[in-house]
Chains A and B, each alone.
Chain A
Amino acid sequence: MSPRRSTEGGRIDRGRTIRFSFDGKTYQGHPGDTLASALMANGVRLFGRSFKYHRPRGLLAAGVDEPNALVTVLKGTVREPNIAATQIEIYEGLTVESQNRFPSLDVDAGAVNQLAGGLLSAGFYYKTFMGPVIGPLRGTRFWMACEHFIRRAAGLGRAGRDADPDRYERMNAFCDVLVVGAGPAGLMAAKAAAEAGKRVILADLDPVPGGSANWSGETIDGLPAAAWAQGTIEALGAMDTVRLLPRTTVWGYYDGNTLAALERVADHKPAPDRGEPRHRHWTIRAGAVVLATGAFERPLVFPGNDRPGVMLADAAVRLLREYGVVAGSRLALFANNDDAYRAAAALAEAGATIAAIVDMRDTVSPAARALAERAGAELLAGHAVTGTKGRKAIREITVQRLREGEITGQPRRIAVDCLLMSGGWSPAIHLASQAGTAPRWDEALQAFLPPKPTQNWVGAGAFAGRFATAAALADGLAAGAKVAGGKPPRKSAQPRVETLELDIAPAPVFEIRPPGKAGKAFVDFQHDVTAEDVRQAHREGFVSVEHLKRYTTLGMATDQGKTSNVPGLAIMAEARGITVPEVGTTRFRPPFTPVSLGALAAERYGELRPDRLTPMHDWHVENGATMYAAGLWYRPMIYGGRGETVEQAYVREAAATRAGVGIVDVSTLGKIMVQGPDAADFLDRVYTNTFSTLPVMKARYGLMLREDGLAYDDGTTWRLSQTDFLMTTTTANAGKVMQQLEYYLDIVWPDLKVTLTSVSDQWAGAAIAGPRSRDVLAACVAGTAVDNDTLPFMGIVRGEIDGVPVMICRLSFSGERAYEVYCGAGHGLHVWEALMEAGKPFAIVPYGLEALGTLRIEKGHVTGAEIDGRTTARDLYLDWMLSKKKPFAGSMMMDREGLCDDDRIRLVGIVALDDRPLGGGAHIVEHNDPAEIRDSIGHVTAGCYSPALGKYIALALVKGGKTRHGARAFVSDPLRKRFGPVEIVSHHFYDPEGSRMHG
């Protein structure tokens, strides 16, 4: 016998059929079905295999707490593993496969693990697999050989390696009131808050909000509860201050009443609509929150409680009332509370036979008895299920007398095809507990209730331990009114509920332990943690709740212990002879249910960072530049495209610049306007050298230290007027320097009258270098002369190029006569093209970062490779820039003994004596034995082929620095398999007197 579809009931559309496939077999279902309900309706009971023992497993739950029925959803080559069948809405063509089985779900070789039984007890892996202490398998080798197989056996679904073609989206929302959960309590809270004029967001994780109203079978305000819920939702939806978010799980409660939610926008369709994301990641800043997240039913722990066909009582009710699926034809119920009797009655009403109700309590309330009678069930009070039978589905249970906690009497066998169980309810307090305070144990409910709020939330309904529908409605109404700041609601505002009054409180028994050798009794179904594992943890001293969890892996599966947490604690409490709250509870961590990584990446999936492009970007690309990602910027590396190697290209570009003229895009440099009466004073404080003495329309090279006295950044600063300076920074440090300057002005020297403006994106810049650079400018600049008198070294002029106002400063990074031309960014390309045009007669070449680097290495200028956060100005022989006349940022810290040590690595030049390249990151050694990789005295910061010297040269940081000039050493670069002789020389390789740039 097997589960079947009832002829009526549920919200499925029996008039339409949907075809889907599971493990290659095609099935039919109806709109409104979940994968779980549709498969059950087709008589399928085997859904998955467990993690460790590969035991056959069926459906346990009906919601997000499902631990067993995990499957992989396939869309082409894209895989989505570990999705609970209860959470998948079927659609035409849905393709799903089962997991963690080989070769098939039905015949799984991994089931052999069941034979190892006691060997695979809690923490067994800590005690073995260590291998021999000596021999070829010593150290970690034996373990790694074992681990190879363990890893293949472990794991659930398989993830895909192909990129996910769908897109994800992020949404920010603000509201007065966020209501989490649209069951009776949540609906009333939303209604009350909305009617008080608040902006409300109502989120529910199900496709059809309504919560328990959708399956309780009760009557609210004279309507079937489900209809009442839909009516209430429609009314809320009609209010423009209410936003309804179905299929939306609020999963994280962060600081400042910020909540994170996942909306599954298109999972229920074959593909997202055009422009639609698959998931939407909501960040909701709520004035107040109503938590109405309901509760999870708990399983009971007894031997064989994991057999397919054993399921939670409420899950069977949901299958019936939401999807019209009868979980079995001959059922039994095993419970420790009255409330579960409803399930027996409901299934009996749907035509199933209720063979027995096994209640571990001796006395059962009259109301429950009446239900048992209505279900036509034999009531076995004071009894317990002590075992189950059946290979891949349950076919029989064993029942025995339970007297004062002891199993006695003769076992009785009852044939069933489904066993419902209920161990009471655990409120879903996860969100409330994420903020870190401990929940409270309620002895009567045998459950943890939410902690006192540390943020602005109010709880309602089953979440708060008020399980009955009437109480939930009243609670919701009160919570809604409270967060809306209004008056307490009138009694008449509360809907009337027609229901059977049943006591929800369970007997404080979670486990049934028949004497003698019994089968495994599972606490954590997915991770195969048994009651015996919990007791073993106790014996081995892993008795605190966190040790229990970590040692046995209890509660660490994809369901995060939603069903296993309390039973596990109860068993440990009993073993220790203390109460459950004394064992403690673990803190729930976000997310409440798993969240796709893509959703959290949102719009950054496929586009991690924005691109920063200079105004001349397209020109570079069109002219053959190979672009190079430098931080967020893209910059030309070389202008190749002539079949040149990178080296050939940069050597050509650098040589042409030194011989004639070259042009490079320097728009990426950081540019900060420093303005105000105290601007010069300010610069004197932050730069190591003096700027107050700088004449107007002159520039000066400046060096900045960090507060700890190490070198920070360098660049030129141009004095445009008495009170206006344009500071340039390195590309990489533009943001950080700006922030540091703002820090000084806001906090350290708020009395200085200075304003800072970042203008990096407002100015485009081009540097023209080479002996013919002046000729190029002369040919295109209007409004000013550019001769040596008008525009001497470090001078600044304003002029025009092809109608565009420009600012030109004569400064040089290359060691050649050179100029930087700045114009408004919008005219950058125009000016660049005008300069190229003017340069044609002089054979101007554009050059990229490689040539720029080559020119600066030849000249011995430092950049980020040398100013790497660990070097001082002295290490870089920039002592001459350290003013002795004034204090400056870092001046008191730069002379500490550790920063003046003789042993520090300092800047030198090196020349390859074997005519081979010197790569950045190569090390320098004194010995001449390539096989001896040891005793580094420093490293290469940047190397190149120098066309000016006709040699491979590099800058390096070497112990002793200058004292080694003229010494022989060896480059040792074992990673690139390079070793060879070098000579250590001055870092000023080229034109050390500077005659070329001053000329």
Chain B
Amino acid sequence: MLITCPYCGPRDLAEFSYQGDANRPRPDQHDTDQARWNAYVYDRSNPAGPHREYWQHAGGCRKHLLIVRSTLTHAIESVAFAGAQGATPQAPRRAAKGRTKTGPAKGKKP
């Protein structure tokens, strides 16, 4: 697998560290809703198809990237810096039923 890091260009999978599902929003640090925290830590949508996920270019610039990649074919649709506009995990949870949107979510600033 080749991942095109926005800083470093196309680099081999071996340089990257998978940081998991980017669909689950981390509650605000002051949030005291236990259910939201439980969901953030444990619940995954685990879609078969396009998946929004974080990777860190650990063997390169060390930036975290938000990648949309198909879990069926491993084909990468898009790569962007994580935490950039529209890429924040604090985006409100989409109440999608059994579906995952592939495009960048319209997120609120944390």
Contact = CB atoms under 8 A, between A and B. Distances in A.
Contacts of A454: 73, 75
Interface in B57-82: 58, 62-64, 73-76, 81-82
Contacts of A258: 1-2, 12
A896 B37 CA distance: 11
A748 B10 CA distance: 26
B46 interface: no
B110 A256 contact: no
A747 B41 contact: no
B4 to A, nearest CB: 9
Interface stretch (A738-746, A949-957, A988-996): A738-746
A257 interface: yes
B26 interface: yes
Contacts of B88: 747, 750
Contacts of A254: 1
A327 B76 CA distance: 52
Nearest to A891: B29
Contacts of A893: 37-38, 41
A743 B56 contact: yes
B56 to A, nearest CB: 7
Interface in A859-887: 887
Contacts of B2: 255-258, 285
B110 A749 contact: yes
A892 B32 CA distance: 7
A739 B56 contact: yes
A685 B29 contact: yes
Interface residue SS majority, chain A: loop
B89 A748 contact: yes
Nearest to B20: A743
A935 interface: no
B47 interface: no
Contact of B83 (A750, A887, A892): A750
B19 interface: yes
A707 interface: yes
Contacts of A748: 26, 89-90, 110
Contacts of B34: 892, 896
Contact of B29 (A257, A750, A887): A887
A892 B37 contact: yes
A707 B37 CA distance: 9
B62 A742 contact: yes
A708 interface: yes
Contacts of B3: 256
Contacts of B89: 747-748
A707 B27 CA distance: 11
B30 interface: yes
**Of B1, B31, B89, B109, which is in contact with the most chain A CB atoms at under 10 Å from its CB?**
B1
Contacts of B81: 746
B82 A746 contact: yes
B45 interface: no
A574 B79 CA distance: 50
Nearest to B37: A892
A162 interface: no
A888 B29 CA distance: 7
A742 B1 contact: no
A742 B63 CA distance: 8
Interface of A: 172, 254-258, 283, 285, 436, 454, 685, 707-708, 739, 742-743, 746-751, 887-888, 892-893, 896
24 contacts: A255-B2, A255-B74, A256-B1, A256-B3, A257-B2, A258-B2, A685-B29, A739-B56, A746-B64, A746-B81, A746-B83, A747-B26, A747-B83, A748-B110, A750-B84, A750-B88, A751-B110, A887-B30, A888-B29, A892-B32, A892-B34, A892-B37, A893-B37, A893-B38
Complex A-B, nearest 3 residue pairs according to Cβ-Cβ distance, in ascending order: A256-B2, A750-B83, A746-B64
